[in-house]
Structure 1
Amino acid sequence: MPQTLNLAIVRLSAMGDIIHTASILPSLFDALKERYTLHLNWIIDSTFSAIMEDSPYINRLIPLPLKEAIKTKDLKTLLAMHKALKTESFDIVLDMQGLLKSALIAKTLNAQSIFGFQSPKESLAKLFYTKSIAIPYSSHILLRNATLAFGTFGLPIPSLETLKSPKDFLGFKSAQFPFISSIKNKKILCVLETSKPNKTYPLEKFLELTKLLNAKGYTPIFLSQKPITIPQNAQFYHIHSLDLAKIKSLVAQMDLVIGGDTGITHLAWALKRPSITLFGSTPRERFNLDTPQNLSLSANTNNDKNNFNIATLDPSAIFELTQSLLEKSLSKTFSRNNL
């Protein structure tokens, strides 16, 4: 009979990185089910906890208001978190983030073993691990995460192709958006913002793309974090100020998501929605989630984080990929309707 394993994953942030890490859960559970009954705990920053709240693989989500406490220098909250974490006990802790703060959190827990990357993002982190797993920092993010998780248990590492097509690992609560019912054609979401300016596709380029879409009868939806002024020289809907739970529901209702290398385009991949990810200063070879329905374009030639090459991506090239994905979707719908 499989023994119960109380496992904790420390992956505090950010949205896309959390999604990358969570995507290995279905294959990890399958690989371990004969040996263990997994009780999975996930330690996450409160800012991003909604992303994982509905995952069928997580028994307990432990949100920490760490980002806000550090930002406001709230020592009282930091000490309270430290005190609470010291009461938690686990068989194994995986530091999937590789930062000093995530390693310190892992060390604060009562754990028999702490596993982390031999080449973490911050080298001091590995001082707090019981054992570290070797994989180059330059490896693809999905393969890097899987190597740590599977290597902890001495399991074979899945191929990158397998990791790019995981079983469902997120969930969401349905939310209604009244304007969606007025869209008679395919629903296309354009993500206007990312975490960094050099990963953000310019608004004027999105408007050029929108004019091409309008000519084919599509009215895209622009998504931004805050209200912004957008020139009314094309037809589009604009939605903003959504919390992460509503963003999950919105993405799940889309026929296509287009945006920079950011959490929301990665969310489309996770929710099995077609997407086009636009890479500028981040290396596509490390972060692409390419599948037949999740495509990408890259403007980067030298992996220089200080460049803004993403602005050179031609809207017409994005439009061509859009047509390809939407036509493929229409073809599948036609085939189902004629069975």
Structure 2
Amino acid sequence: MNTRNFRIAIVRLSALGDIVNTAVALQIVRKHYPDATIDWYVEEAFAPLLQDHPLLHEVITVPLKRIKKTKSFQLLRETIHTLKSHPPYDQIIDAQGLLKSAIVTSFLKGKKHGFDRNSAREKLAARFYDTASSIPYEMNVIKRNVLVITEALEIPYREEDIVEKKALFPIQEKPQWLNEKAVACVIGASWPSKCYPKEQFAEICSALSHPCYLVWGSEQEYQDAHWIAQHAANAVITPKMGLRELVSFIAHCDLVIGNDTGPTHMGWAMNRPSITLFGPTNERMIFPTDINIGIKSPSPVNILKIDRNDFSIRDINPSVIIQKAKELL
């Protein structure tokens, strides 16, 4: 196939962890389509993560959350007009499998590919595609993301491409406030039941010899970080960071310990050692390596029907995390 001037659109609107776990496909696509134009459609809040990415031609923001919040019909009309105005693509790939991402895909011109009815998170999404991949929803999320993109582009799947990846995002200079040796502790998450207790995080910090930098993104997380810093002498509260600052911070840390959430997954993305803690979710959410491991609570998980009231993450003994952290350090 002549890949010169081949135009590819990837639709992955949110969330941070899902975007991180999809970006590995860019390196794979570029190996097979070195001259292609690759655009990424993303929610505007997450666009800074992808801006100026060397493997992307354009990052196109889609303000769905702002449309929902403001209920602005004018903004909706402008967004649809913008989507329809882009030149045709040779291949459009919905790597999210939600109704909202499928609708965004439908406004773009070109051949559309996504997850089939039995693979998509929301079955109705499959009606918007010309072709579809059958990839079990229970499969590892990074493999799923890579497979739906590589199958759309007829690229052979090689797990080595994931294992041997380079850092997924550009790295800025090391933050001036960061010590030579550092552990990042990601204490928040999207659901309370995914959060490891602050008391146990303080115990982990106190047991490690390196400074432990507490990453926070909301007022509640800041209050929890303040509590941990009061109870662990080597715990340090980070400044509030934008996404690009967060990437560079993680890239300069020696270890990331955190809940199942985007900033923790950034450790794997930037080839840094990481420990991801799981309660209501499981290791399906990471790509385990020698330096990127998961620790799961004892509770069973039905990935098709996640129990958000499963607070079993509290049952993970801090000593297990401390031991693994010392090994990785």
The match for 2:318 among 302, 315, 319 is: 315
Compare 265-274 and 9-18 and name the one that shifted more: 265-274
Q: CA deviation at 1:290?
A: 1.4
CA 1:157 to 1:91, structure 2 compared with 1: closer, same or farther past 3 Å?
A: same
CA 1:307 to 1:56, structure 2 compared with 1: closer, same or farther past 3 Å?
A: same
Q: CA deviation at 1:38?
A: 1.1
Q: Residue in 1 aligned with 2:66?
A: 68
Q: Residue in 2 aligned with 1:336?
A: none
TM-score by length of 2: 0.90
Q: Which amino acid aligns with 1:307?
A: D
Determine what percentage of the aligned residue pairs are the same residue: 33
**Rounded Cα–Cα distance in structure 2 between residues aligned with 1:201 and 1:177:** 29
TM-score by length of 1: 0.87
**Rounded Cα–Cα distance in structure 1 between residues aligned with 2:135 and 2:314:** 33
Q: Which amino acid aligns with 2:8?
A: L
Q: Which amino acid aligns with 1:250?
A: F
Q: 2:3, 2:33 within 8 Å by CA — same for their partners in 1?
A: no
**Rounded Cα–Cα distance in structure 1 between residues aligned with 2:66 and 2:173:** 28
Q: Residue in 1 aligned with 2:263?
A: 264
Q: CA deviation at 1:156?
A: 2.0
SS at 1:17 equivalent: helix
Q: 1:279, 1:299 within 8 Å by CA — same for their partners in 2?
A: yes
Q: Residue in 1 aligned with 2:9?
A: 8
Compare 218-227 and 168-177 and name the one that shifted more: 168-177
Q: CA deviation at 1:268?
A: 1.2
Cα deviations by residue, 1:50-79 (Å, 9 ceiling, x for unpaired): 111242211111012221221232222122
SS at 1:86 equivalent: helix
Q: Residue in 1 aligned with 2:135?
A: 135
Paired residues for 1:1-339 under 5 Å: 2-33=3-34, 37-89=35-87, 90-111=89-110, 113-118=111-116, 119-159=119-159, 162-174=161-173, 176-178=175-177, 180=178, 183=179, 186-213=181-208, 217-226=209-218, 227-228=222-223, 229-230=226-227, 232-235=230-233, 236-284=235-283, 286-303=284-301, 304-305=306-307, 306-326=309-329
Task: Give structure 1 regions of 4+ aligned residues with deviation exceeding 6 angstroms.
Answer: none
CA 1:300 to 1:104, structure 2 compared with 1: closer, same or farther past 3 Å?
A: farther
Q: 2:166, 2:270 within 8 Å by CA — same for their partners in 1?
A: no
Q: 1:6, 1:38 within 8 Å by CA — same for their partners in 2?
A: yes
Q: Which amino acid aligns with 2:210?
A: Y
Q: CA deviation at 1:169?
A: 2.7
RMSD: 1.7
Cα deviations by residue, 1:106-149 (Å, 9 ceiling, x for unpaired): 111122x0000012111111111011111111111122112211
Q: 2:184, 2:255 within 8 Å by CA — same for their partners in 1?
A: yes
Cα deviations by residue, 1:264-300 (Å, 9 ceiling, x for unpaired): 111111111111111111121x212211111221115
Cα deviations by residue, 1:25-45 (Å, 9 ceiling, x for unpaired): 112221344xxx210000000
Q: CA deviation at 1:154?
A: 2.6
Q: 2:28, 2:161 within 8 Å by CA — same for their partners in 1?
A: no
Q: CA deviation at 1:175?
A: 5.7
SS at 2:138 equivalent: coil
Q: 1:93, 1:106 within 8 Å by CA — same for their partners in 2?
A: yes
Q: Which amino acid aligns with 1:294?
A: N
Q: 1:103, 1:128 within 8 Å by CA — same for their partners in 2?
A: yes
Q: 1:54, 1:172 within 8 Å by CA — same for their partners in 2?
A: no
SS at 1:324 equivalent: helix
In structure 2, list runs of 5 or more residues that go unmatched: none
Compare 163-172 and 194-203 and name the one that shifted more: 163-172
Q: 1:26, 1:168 within 8 Å by CA — same for their partners in 2?
A: no
**Rounded Cα–Cα distance in structure 1 between residues aligned with 2:109 and 2:310:** 44
Q: 1:10, 1:44 within 8 Å by CA — same for their partners in 2?
A: yes
